[in-house]
Structure 1
Amino acid sequence: MKAADARALTADQLKEELAKLKKEQFNLRFQKATGQLEKSSRVQEVRRDIARVKTIARQKAAEAKA
């Protein structure tokens, strides 16, 4: 997910996206533990996407507060 895409989302949509990414991260960790992970780079991509969504959500909350 690009930062521009995430900025276009509302706060509720960001929460939903974060939940989806966390679920995917869990599934990827489970696949890695069982040796079924095919694309290991996806773990890092998801981790960065989670950080990106959290950052943008925090920025939107600060803007709304100000």
Structure 2
Amino acid sequence: MAATKIGDIRAKTPDELNTMLLDLRKEQFNLRFQRATGQLEALSRIKQVRRDIARVKTIIGERAQSAAPKA
């Protein structure tokens, strides 16, 4: 599975972003668990998921910052 493109993430609504973030964190937990038990074959997927989480959190932060009142 390829990394999520930033354009695809930007097109999502805030609710979709929060759902996506939750799903990615669950996947990250499962991947870490598989690695610890020796069942993980695609080690590169851990890196992809971590970066996708960062992308989603960046977009959420950008939107929160732009929505905040200017001081």
TM-score normalised by the chain length of structure 2: 0.89
Give the helix-richer structure, 1 or 2: 1
**Count of residues in Structure 1 that have an aligned counterpart in Structure 2:** 66
Q: Does 1:40 align with 2:43?
A: yes
**Structure 1 portions without partners, runs of 5+:** none
Percent of residue pairs identical: 59
Number of the residue aligned with 2:56: 53
- Deviation of 1:22 after TM superposition, in Å, equals 0.1
**SS where residue 29 of structure 2 aligns?**
helix
TM-score normalised by the chain length of structure 1: 0.95
**Structure number with bigger Rg:** 2
Which 4+ runs in 1 deviate beyond 6 A?
A: none
**Structure 2 portions without partners, runs of 5+:** none
